[in-house]
Structure 1
Amino acid sequence: MTIFSFESGIPVCFTCDRHSRLSITNQYYKDGNASLQWDYTENSSVIVTESIGYRPFQEGTKDQARDSFTIWIYNAAAVEGELVFEFGRSGAVDCSFQFGLNFRGWRTAWVAYERDMTGCPHPDMDTVTIRMPMGIQPGTLFIDQMMLNTPIDPRFHTRDFQVPLVNLRADVSANAHWLALYAFEQLAPKHAIPSAVIQEDQDAFGLMNERFEALFFKERRVSKEEITLLQRRFAEYGIARKGGILTGRPIELFFDHYPPLLKEELKRLSNGVQLSEITQFLLETAICFRSCEEEEQQAHLQAMFITVLDYMEDQGWTYGSSQGTVHHFGYNFRDYYPAVFLMRADLKEAGILERTQRTMRWYSGVGRTHTPLAEVEGNIDIYNTTLHGMLASLLIMDDTPEKVRDLKAFCDWLSQSLLPAPGLRAAYKIDGSAYHHVNHYPAYAVGGFQGVTPMMYVLKGTPFRVSREAHETIRKALLSMRLYSNKREWLISLSARHPTGKWALDPEPFAFLAESGTPDGRSEVDTEVAAAYLRLLDPDERTEAAHRFEAMGIIAEPDPNGHWTMNYAALAIHRRGSWLAGMRGHSRYLWANETYVNANLYGRYISHGHLQIMSRGEPVNHQASGYQQDGWDWNRWPGTTTVHKPLEELRASVCNVDTFSGFEEMLLSDETFAGGLHLEGHNGMFAMKLHEHPKYEGSHRARKSAFFFNNRIICLGSGIENDNTANRTETTLFQNHLPIREDPLWIDEAGPIYDFPYFQKKQLDNPTWILDNKGNGYYIPAGQTISVSKATQHSKHQSTDVDTQGDFAAAWLDHGTSPTEGSYAYAILVDTDCGQVKRFYEQMEHPDSAPYKVLRQERSAHVVFDAESCTTAYALFEADDCLGIGYVTAVDTPAMVMIREESGTLTMSAVDPDLRLYEEIEKDQYDRNGIQKEVSVYSRKWVHAKSIAHPMRITLKGQWMLSSPEQGVQVFAGEGDCSVVELICQDGMPKELVLVPIV
């Protein structure tokens, strides 16, 4: 692995033709303080005679990185033509690529040998020839940090104006939103240019400018100390002009091309400044400049700002340059856009606004707004990091008809990108899910909301506002976030690779969305969203928005109460009072866990039917409700049925399985049945067929359900099986942190248990009850083996692997080793006390007074009747033509059904939870023995598929008709005294209807 930095002179392996000259210079450099100067004429060449060390990629390796060539080139003056890089041996050329010279400043290229070059690379290549084109005038190039061969993740190479043929597949990859800048720039505008700028547009420009500026700038006093600090930071960058030449520390972001063993050494050699630091400096300088009143100070601030912009241009942070890669680039560049916007008048006066606007357009990817609407896909990364940059780059244009056209394209693109997306496409779903990494992902969604809602506010009431349907979609997704969060922290099962319990929603997007008005545009303020915002604020938070809303008479909403279904997240949400219970699963469409090499290493079971109760704290939070990372037993997520393994066996073995993904684990099941159902928005259920991926425990299966009625949750399991003879299979009732070791548990009539440590394992000849240390009661029927523990638990940190420990109370049902047809049953009373649990226990002892009855619990079906609500709930894991329980006699599709009877009327809700993104099986997910393989979900073609509509038939006892017509629902007479309800099911969305008897 050879890297040339030219700090020690011209390497002996470098030669040039007799019409050109090589030398070492300190004038330009990308690392150290030297580079190779090449004074060339037409058809000049530089030859490097050195073993390249290229090795073809071997399929099946753990790392998908591809051998690549990288180089930095400084061009003192743009010229027409292209450098040719040839790689070969013994005078023959094996492969080559071209590098455009029409630029000034630094540019780089990352080029994979096997994919991005013309020809066929060979392991014995030992010569690199760099050729100037014919007909070019004499000139000079500077070369630095030339790596003959370095492994690079094949997703990262990014094409630009210098190397437009690099990594063409990236334009349609999961990273396309970052990497397709070149492709975006080639798109032709689809909108016509209006003949003139009408007054309505002119007024809108002024209003949007005013609102956009207010997002980032509020005038204030500027102290001399602040300006001195900015000047000191500027001096640290070493940026200076010397005879028309700009010098300074390199501005860096990416080190993905550095060989791992040399990365730290090369970073030290470059002594670079991080891009995020530079852009933050620009924004802070712009704010100080706009607030400063002294002309001399303003002049210093303006000079620093313009000098940094010029230096960024010289360093290659400019239009048409991709810096080798721009993956995840937006997070480090987002301060650039408002900084330029605030300085727009001064940059125009300096004659560099047009140049800078082109840079903004390029890096924010404004060209994407010309994508045909049918191909537009939303993306939370873009909303979070570059959406404001896209708008800023348009707002700073001169007020021309072209500006009107481009803003109209932006509006249409944004509106389309916010609409409910088909399949697993980003970003928002019909059920309120917010998608990133092909799943519901609140940790990213919160950033998306932070980005998109202020822009909706800026566009509000103008000809460029988002469409009504787009507004309604983002509104539903944002309001859903405050349902699966309590108060601000979302369910741990939704934490993906961040099971810290510390991630939380931000109330501010609620304020921006409220001030964006109602979706129909009739009201200046959305009072429902504003009321949600006021509830989410902490008592001591007094914001300007809160004062405005309260002055309008808006008050904080009460805690949401009800039941909600989000089947694109395989999630059921149940709320009463101030508590939240949520249950989550996974399927062949929705991954079970997201694990990186340094994140969520023990999270394999996080969505194996995880039932979390958040009911404690002021406000309610994870820590007070029982979750704490330190000491947490990663085998025992409440509600899950798992094989309890030693931590070293539970730890993920993370691979880079293909070129579509990085080092990550996102395992899929082969089961389609996972999700929830609600009835009248009040009660609901969750059910799933659990089958663990064969990468770890492919024999592990279970049928799981939970039925939610007011403060009661009835949990059933059947068909529990696996062939693991070494480790016991368990269903966890609870695992709660003990902030005080003496916190009591109540077990039946034994009274409070203050002992620590404590352990009891008991075969239940009779039912029993438990009250945990968080105020939740558990009723456990007889015939099961239960273990209860209070102990100091020893665990591992989910990202660092360091040892952790903590005190916990836990209870679980033991199914033994290698169970067959195992089962469990228990009920939870949420937010209760000993007296209520005891009364519930006593009621369950008498069939006539029992709050619920299990009508069936077997592999094919779990059916429960709730006496208080007179509701029967069915988890029907298989089609069944002779079910005969309650009103349901048959079903032709695995389904969930809830029926409430009142005064001879049936209120019915039903769902086929199968998202039906594809049918049958995918052969490439299975090996020759029919065992499911680990694949990247990003590699699946069905990720973008539309949910397939499916007619489901439920046969009911009796003659029934719809009380009123329902779209997608038909009821007709069946055989005998039966009625058939046919529902067109799609997107896992429940359908609710009211049936009345036919008289």
Structure 2
Amino acid sequence: MNFFKVLVFINVLFGFQAFGQLQPDVCEQRIPHNWNVINGKLSMSSQHFKKGKQSVKWDWMGSDGVISIKDSAFESVQNDPRSTFVFWLYNGEKTDDKLHFIFYKGEKEMYRFDFNLNYTGWRTAWVMYHRDMTKLADDGIDRMEIKAPQSVKKGTLYFDQVIYYVNINPRSPMRDLQVPFVNLEGEKAANAHWNSLYKFNANPGYLPLAREISDKNTKQFSQITNRYLKLIGAKKTTIALDSLRKEYDFWNIRRTKGYVTGRMIYSTNDIELTSRDLLAKAKAANEKSNIKRYAQLMLSVAHLHKQTDDQRVKQETEKLYIDLLDHMEGQGWSYGSGMGALHHLGYNLADYYSSCLIMKDIIKQNGRLERTFKTMYWFSGLGRTLETPEQLPVSNIDVFNTLLGSMLSTALILDDGTEKLRYMQHFSKWMSHNVRPNLEITGAFKPDGAVFHHGTLYPAYGTGGYNGLAPIIYVLSQTAFQIDSDAHQQFKDNMLMMHYYTNPTRWPISISGRHPTGNWRIPDMPYAYMALSGTPDGKEKIDKHMAAVYLLINKNEKNPYVRRFKNMGIAPAVYPAMHWTLNFGLLDIHRRNDWLLTIKGHNRYIVSHESYPNANVFGRYASYGQLEVLYPENGETLASHFRDKGWDWNRIPGTTTLHVPLDVLRADIKNVDDYSGVEEMLLTDELFAGGVHLDKQGVFAMKLKGHDKYKMGNFKATKSWFTFDSLVVALGSDISNPTMEYPTETTLFQNYLGDKRESIYVNDTKINSFPYKNEEGIHTVLDNRKIGYYIPGNPQTVVYKENQTSRDQKDLKDTNGDFTGLYIRHGHAPKNQGYEYAMLIDTDSKKLADFASQMNSQHALYTVLRKDSVMHSVKYHPQHITGLSIFKSHVHLADKYILDNSRPCLVMYKDQQNQLDLAVVDPDLAFYEGDDDAPRNADGTRREASIYSRYWFKTPSKPTVIKMTIKGGWKKTDTENNQHQVEQTKEGNTMLTIQCKYGLTTKLRLTKK
């Protein structure tokens, strides 16, 4: 994709609609003909400019100095709720007064706002007419006036890039010291971690200022700084001075009569304001990442200055760096400036903070340390750490990923003293608070180990969080500023959970978010840093558990950490045979031997998928029960079934779907409200989805329902999976929908064929032929990945090997590939259809045939006890374990032990002699109560709405209570366990009152009375 297309895509992606709306640069060639001045003078000037080489200079005389502007662009304002006024202003003399902007219809004032002049250099503002300005009337606009400050008799200002009207994303503008009234709600929005710099700056801090610092504090400041500088240095690349000179020349920085000019340094958000012509110029000038490019140059200069012993090179790099620092400040990258709008500034500005810390001595020698600290403080948002713990916003992966090191650099650049001590104490406490689990949909880390971003389990973002957090935890470790031991343990547990759902480096496609490529990997270095941080209790300087995980992920014998850990006698980690349920993420995890099995669902709290323009556009069914098996990555076995080469996005393994043409499946992606960008993240109105586990076995179930957006509001199915050792029993019932046009299917597998000659076995017959298709009498299938399928009864089942054509997940090109697959047909407009099948993982044709024979004997491994709208239940005979997905309450269950339940729930029990072990989960995370809250259309169908717009997005999950009647008389074994209470009923049965919370499994043991 060429650069122009990329920028067009970015505009679509973020909801930017600026193309075709902008007048040319009115401040570049000549004084605009429609600008008239009273008590002053307008002229063109090359002394200061933002874009281009000139700006409009305004010399005013007297407090009644005015610029009056009349333009047809104002006519578009009234009917556009997103209409915005934008300008850049250079101020050479700081004053505590304001510039006044007033918009008229004739002589009647319509809107107005003030702009503070308490700065020097360039500043900008993006002010939305209808939301941000003071609205005095609403009859349209035909002209505006800019009135001089009242307390200053005369002065000079420079205008550039004045845009009377542009339609922008309302989430973007941010308030700052010049326009503190802009986008006040932005500090509560999903992008508040970028947009709340004004709020962070105002935090006074809650810790007292110490009278003095100790020698220990000073020594640890040095230790922390040296550790962090070593981390920064480890990432450096050596760039020759000639190359740095050439890159420096690109910015055209000049010093004339005490002021600095040069090429404009713009932020990511400026793309919202850019016309097609300017986009083409940006492409030609290679300015696609302007501020990031500038910060990278600053870091490269800093690295060269630090590593060279040549005094001439040191002198030149010092000059280059100070020039770069001053130009950046003058351009508006300065304390108190919001640059109009800033998102993802952590990604783009990261190298700036590192360069400043490296060059601290040079910055101080040149008299710029205080100014630089304030700028770093502002843009890093270090002030967020000064908020009292009870008022802290929820944790955010973007902050961990992109701003953590920048915040630390800001604190460390201060000279040693009580102020530095206070910032470091705040930072440490803030870190501890933020790595602890939180209970909302928003936030990063959940009680079950899920790592969240965009309101869902999202390891692709989680890796960035780990990459940001782990090295900082290490840098602070074994000092007075280390994070609290419980926070350390909880963060370690979260990292271990990602380790458990990767095998050993890749995670399932179902949790890939908008990037279902199969190429994303778990990062190794965070595990090394956590190993170096020591154990959470502080007893060991090396955490051997985390070191073992690192050795599993990184097998490079030449790696220094690998050598170090192995020399300590640490061996690579071995995965435990275990079952985990991440009910915040609606992911079930089952591990045996060297393979990983996961199942993914969704409900009214957790979205089914995330699609952006050109990203996962066919991902509607990603969480319709996707079941994946991942083997280790080696040359003998295909680690994953997935390849985006001919992949049929309708036939995702484990899912029940409506099989539609790709043009129908393609997401219709919109900007549905002011809380979101251009994206699709759908929620069902079904509540039931989740899992439970007991004795390393598990059950996962969901009530599936489609979304009305795609006329699938009546597409329903009840699905469950019972995972016992290497056996999976999959059940479906109540499969119904009225759609006659397209068939409904349940996919058992769709596997990529690296070689079309790869064998499968159908009814114990080896199939090498290609293509191949069988639609009759299919009872057992062994796929090309050593997974066997047993299909009792006689459903309409299809097994095939064939070449498939499709589109890649970005919808950019046609794809083609060879696949084998197996699916069950439920027909067109099915009514109360169902299915049952079993999977044997890591098996062969003989074992599968033996299993099928055993299932037809008196020694079956499992028995399906019930499969209907009330309950799915299965007994696994070898372990005497029964799993139940109970979809209704107070309905006769006909179960051996459970007579009644007060809420839908998931239950497993193991009965042996006079003992009953139970595991119970309430799958309702209870973020809100009552019926589904989605907005409705006039016909009652659900309307698409952003998850960020839901009032419960930031409310905590609430505990619930399940009352369950157990047949017979039982008593508690663990009297200290307060998660459940036991009482006897007058019928001689036992009433259990079970405390449930956060989707976690509540386990209890009862003994017969």
What TM-score range do you get, normalising by the shorter chain? over 0.9
Give the aligned residue type for 2:72.
S
State the match for 1:793 in structure 2. Answer: 804
Q: 1:15 aligns with which of 24, 33, 36?
A: 36
Matches of 2:325 and 2:756 in 1, distance apart?
Answer: 59
Shift of 1:264: 1.7
Q: Does 1:591 align with 2:607?
A: yes
State the match for 1:61 in structure 2. Answer: none
Q: Does 1:499 align with 2:536?
A: no
TM-score (norm 1): 0.95
User: Which one is further off, 727-736 or 77-86?
Assistant: 77-86
Matches of 1:422 and 1:855 in 2, distance apart?
Answer: 36
SS of 1:347 mapped into structure 2: helix
Q: Is the 8 A contact 1:516 1:526 kept in 2?
A: yes
Change (3 A) 1:630 1:687: same
CA deviations on 1:27-75 (whole Å, 9 max, x unpaired) are 32222222111122232111111123454687xxxxx971101011112
State the match for 1:557 in structure 2. Answer: 573
Matches of 1:123 and 1:713 in 2, distance apart?
Answer: 67
Matches of 1:678 and 1:620 in 2, distance apart?
Answer: 32
Q: 2:255 aligns with which of 241, 248, 251?
A: 241
State the match for 1:704 in structure 2. Answer: 719
Matches of 1:875 and 1:234 in 2, distance apart?
Answer: 65
User: Which one is further off, 318-327 or 970-979?
Assistant: 970-979
Q: How does 1:511-526 map to 2 (within 5 A)?
A: 511-526=528-543
SS of 2:377 mapped into structure 1: helix
Structure 1 gaps of 5+ residues are: 59-63
Q: How does 1:768-847 map to 2 (within 5 A)?
A: 768-846=779-857
Matches of 1:918 and 1:903 in 2, distance apart?
Answer: 41
Q: 1:483 aligns with which of 483, 492, 500?
A: 500
Matches of 1:141 and 1:371 in 2, distance apart?
Answer: 37
Q: Is the 8 A contact 2:503 2:632 kept in 1?
A: no
SS of 1:665 mapped into structure 2: coil
Q: 1:51 aligns with which of 72, 78, 101?
A: 72
Q: How does 1:946-957 map to 2 (within 5 A)?
A: 946-957=956-967
Matches of 1:34 and 1:45 in 2, distance apart?
Answer: 21
Q: Does 1:996 align with 2:1007?
A: yes
Shift of 1:819: 0.7
Give the aligned residue type for 1:949.
P
Q: Is the 8 A contact 1:959 1:979 kept in 2?
A: yes
SS of 1:335 mapped into structure 2: helix
Q: 2:644 aligns with which of 623, 626, 629?
A: 629
Give the aligned residue type for 1:375.
Q
Structure 2 gaps of 5+ residues are: 1-20
Give the aligned residue type for 2:425.
K
Q: Does 1:39 align with 2:59?
A: yes
CA deviations on 1:179-238 (whole Å, 9 max, x unpaired) are 00001111111111112112332222122112111111259996xx72221122111221
Q: Does 1:331 align with 2:352?
A: no
Q: Is the 8 A contact 2:657 2:745 kept in 1?
A: yes
State the match for 2:978 in structure 1. Answer: 967
Q: Is the 8 A contact 2:77 2:141 kept in 1?
A: no
CA deviations on 1:683-722 (whole Å, 9 max, x unpaired) are 1111011111111111011110001111111100001111
Change (3 A) 1:721 1:956: same
Shift of 1:954: 2.3
Q: Does 1:758 align with 2:772?
A: yes
Give the aligned residue type for 2:97.
G
Matches of 1:594 and 1:234 in 2, distance apart?
Answer: 41
CA deviations on 1:392-425 (whole Å, 9 max, x unpaired) are 1111112211222221111222211222112213
SS of 1:510 mapped into structure 2: helix
State the match for 2:941 in structure 1. Answer: 931
Change (3 A) 1:574 1:338: same
Q: Does 1:849 align with 2:862?
A: no
Matches of 2:343 and 2:633 in 1, distance apart?
Answer: 40
SS of 2:240 mapped into structure 1: helix
State the match for 2:905 in structure 1. Answer: 895
Give the aligned residue type for 1:974.
T
Matches of 1:65 and 1:787 in 2, distance apart?
Answer: 53
Matches of 2:163 and 2:395 in 1, distance apart?
Answer: 37
Shift of 1:389: 1.0
Matches of 2:880 and 2:365 in 1, distance apart?
Answer: 75
Matches of 2:800 and 2:193 in 1, distance apart?
Answer: 49
**Count of paired positions:** 982
Q: Is the 8 A contact 2:685 2:932 kept in 1?
A: no
Q: Does 1:297 align with 2:313?
A: yes
Matches of 1:123 and 1:266 in 2, distance apart?
Answer: 38
Matches of 2:266 and 2:966 in 1, distance apart?
Answer: 67
Q: Is the 8 A contact 2:645 2:817 kept in 1?
A: yes
Q: Is the 8 A contact 1:101 1:162 kept in 2?
A: yes
Q: Does 1:215 align with 2:231?
A: yes
Q: Does 1:692 align with 2:706?
A: yes
Matches of 1:671 and 1:220 in 2, distance apart?
Answer: 51
Shift of 1:886: 2.6
Q: 2:925 aligns with which of 915, 922, 944?
A: 915
Give the aligned residue type for 1:237.
W
Give the aligned residue type for 1:228.
D
Matches of 2:274 and 2:963 in 1, distance apart?
Answer: 59
Matches of 1:895 and 1:620 in 2, distance apart?
Answer: 41
User: Which one is further off, 784-793 or 960-969?
Assistant: 960-969
Q: 1:459 aligns with which of 471, 476, 479?
A: 476
Change (3 A) 1:975 1:613: farther
Q: How does 1:615-764 map to 2 (within 5 A)?
A: 615=631, 617-618=633-634, 624-680=639-695, 682-696=696-710, 697-749=712-764, 751-762=765-776, 764=777
State the match for 2:25 in structure 1. Answer: 4
Change (3 A) 1:178 1:121: farther
SS of 2:495 mapped into structure 1: helix
Q: How does 1:257-296 map to 2 (within 5 A)?
A: 257-258=272-273, 261=276, 264-265=279-280, 267=282, 274-296=290-312
User: Which one is further off, 251-260 or 517-526?
Assistant: 251-260
Q: 1:95 aligns with which of 101, 106, 111?
A: 111
Give the aligned residue type for 1:130.
I
CA deviations on 1:91-139 (whole Å, 9 max, x unpaired) are 2221011111121111111010100101256564121211111231422
Q: Is the 8 A contact 1:39 1:140 kept in 2?
A: yes
CA deviations on 1:740-772 (whole Å, 9 max, x unpaired) are 1111211003x222222222222x4xx610011
Q: Does 1:29 align with 2:49?
A: yes
Matches of 2:35 and 2:283 in 1, distance apart?
Answer: 25
SS of 1:238 mapped into structure 2: coil
State the match for 2:490 in structure 1. Answer: 473
Shift of 1:261: 5.0
Matches of 1:54 and 1:268 in 2, distance apart?
Answer: 32
SS of 2:407 mapped into structure 1: helix
TM-score (norm 2): 0.95
SS of 1:793 mapped into structure 2: strand
Matches of 2:647 and 2:81 in 1, distance apart?
Answer: 35
CA deviations on 1:314-341 (whole Å, 9 max, x unpaired) are 1111111111111121110111111111
User: Which one is further off, 813-822 or 74-83?
Assistant: 74-83
Q: Does 1:861 align with 2:876?
A: no
Give the aligned residue type for 1:952.
I
Q: Is the 8 A contact 1:881 1:892 kept in 2?
A: no
Q: Does 1:309 align with 2:325?
A: yes
Q: How does 1:155-194 map to 2 (within 5 A)?
A: 155-194=171-210
Shift of 1:276: 0.6
Give the aligned residue type for 2:756.
R
Give the aligned residue type for 2:51.
D
Matches of 1:267 and 1:584 in 2, distance apart?
Answer: 43
Matches of 1:899 and 1:263 in 2, distance apart?
Answer: 67
CA deviations on 1:955-993 (whole Å, 9 max, x unpaired) are 222322222132211122234342222211111110112
Q: Is the 8 A contact 2:76 2:165 kept in 1?
A: no
